[in-house]
Homo-oligomer: A and B are copies of this chain.
Amino acid sequence: MRKTHDILVETRAALPALTASTEKKNLALGKIAERLLQEQDAILAANREDVEGARDRYGEVMIDRLTLTPERIAGMAQGVREVAELPDPEGRVIRRVERPNGLVIEKTSVPLGVVAIIYESRPNVTSDAAVLALKSGNAVVLRGGREAYRSNAAIVDAIHHGLEDAGLPAALVGFIEDTDHASADELMRAVGLIDLLIPRGGAGLIRRCTENAKVPCIQTGTGICHIFVDASADLDKALDIIENAKTSRPSVCNAEEVLLVHRDIAADFLPRLCDRLTTQRRAKGLVPVELRLDPRAAAVIPGVPAGEKDFDTEFLDYKLAVAVVDSTDAAIAHIAAHSTGHSDAILTKDDENAARFTMLVDSAAVYVNASTRFTDGGEFGLGCEMGISTQKLHARGPMGLEELNTYKYIIRGDGQIR
What chain B residues lie within 8 Å of A309 (beta carbons)? none
**Known A103-B370, A406-B392, A413-B367: A362·B113 in contact at CB below 8 Å:** yes
Does A241 touch B at the CB level, under 8 Å? yes
Does A318 touch B at the CB level, under 8 Å? no
Are A418 and B379 interface neighbours, CB within 8 A? yes
What chain B residues lie within 8 Å of A367 (beta carbons)? 411-413
Among residues of B, the one whose C-beta sits closest to the C-beta of A381 is B97
Are A408 and B234 interface neighbours, CB within 8 A? no
What chain B residues lie within 8 Å of A381 (beta carbons)? 97, 99, 105
What chain B residues lie within 8 Å of A245 (beta carbons)? 417
Are A105 and B393 interface neighbours, CB within 8 A? no
Q: 24 A-B pairs, CB-CB below 8 angstroms?
A: A103-B374, A191-B210, A195-B392, A196-B393, A216-B391, A216-B393, A237-B415, A245-B417, A248-B418, A364-B409, A366-B409, A366-B411, A368-B410, A368-B413, A370-B415, A370-B416, A371-B416, A373-B417, A374-B411, A379-B418, A392-B406, A393-B393, A393-B406, A394-B394
What chain B residues lie within 8 Å of A375 (beta carbons)? 409
Are A393 and B394 interface neighbours, CB within 8 A? yes
CA distance A16 to B332 in the complex (A): 11
Are A380 and B240 interface neighbours, CB within 8 A? no
Are B366 and A410 interface neighbours, CB within 8 A? yes
Q: How far is the CB of A330 from chain B (nearest CB, A)?
A: 14
Q: How far is the CB of A405 from chain B (nearest CB, A)?
A: 9
**Known A195-B392, A216-B391: A408·B112 in contact at CB below 8 Å:** no
Instruction: List 13 other contacts, CB 8 Å, given A370-B415, A396-B406, A397-B408.
Output: A16-B360, A19-B359, A19-B360, A113-B362, A216-B392, A240-B417, A241-B417, A244-B418, A358-B410, A365-B411, A370-B414, A373-B418, A374-B416
The 6 closest A-B pairs by CB, nearest first: A370-B413, A244-B417, A237-B415, A394-B394, A392-B406, A373-B418
Q: How far is the CB of A293 from chain B (nearest CB, A)?
A: 24
**Chain A 328-354 interface mask (CB, 8 Å, partner B; 1/0):** 000000000000000000000000001
**Chain A 101-115 interface mask (CB, 8 Å, partner B; 1/0):** 001010000101100
CA distance A195 to B409 in the complex (A): 26
Does A214 touch B at the CB level, under 8 Å? yes
SS class of chain A's interface: helix, strand, loop or mixed? mixed
Interface size class of chain A, counting residues whose CB lies under 8 Å from the partner chain: 35 or more
**Known A240-B415, A379-B418: A214·B211 in contact at CB below 8 Å:** yes
What chain B residues lie within 8 Å of A418 (beta carbons)? 244, 248, 371, 373-374, 379
CA distance A418 to B374 in the complex (A): 7
What chain B residues lie within 8 Å of A413 (beta carbons)? 367-370
Does A121 touch B at the CB level, under 8 Å? no
Are A380 and B409 interface neighbours, CB within 8 A? yes
Q: How far is the CB of A332 from chain B (nearest CB, A)?
A: 9
Q: How far is the CB of A401 from chain B (nearest CB, A)?
A: 13
Among residues of B, the one whose C-beta sits closest to the C-beta of A19 is B359
Does A363 touch B at the CB level, under 8 Å? yes
CA distance A192 to B386 in the complex (A): 25
**Known A113-B362, A211-B214, A380-B105: A396·B408 in contact at CB below 8 Å:** yes
What chain B residues lie within 8 Å of A16 (beta carbons)? 360
What chain B residues lie within 8 Å of A366 (beta carbons)? 408-411
**Known A380-B97, A381-B105: A407·B417 in contact at CB below 8 Å:** no
**Known A392-B112, A409-B364, A417-B373: A379·B99 in contact at CB below 8 Å:** yes
Q: How far is the CB of A201 from chain B (nearest CB, A)?
A: 19
**Known A19-B360, A396-B407: A368·B216 in contact at CB below 8 Å:** no
Among residues of B, the one whose C-beta sits closest to the C-beta of A370 is B413
Most chain B CB within a 10 A radius of its CB, from A97, A369, A410, A411: A411
Are A248 and B410 interface neighbours, CB within 8 A? no
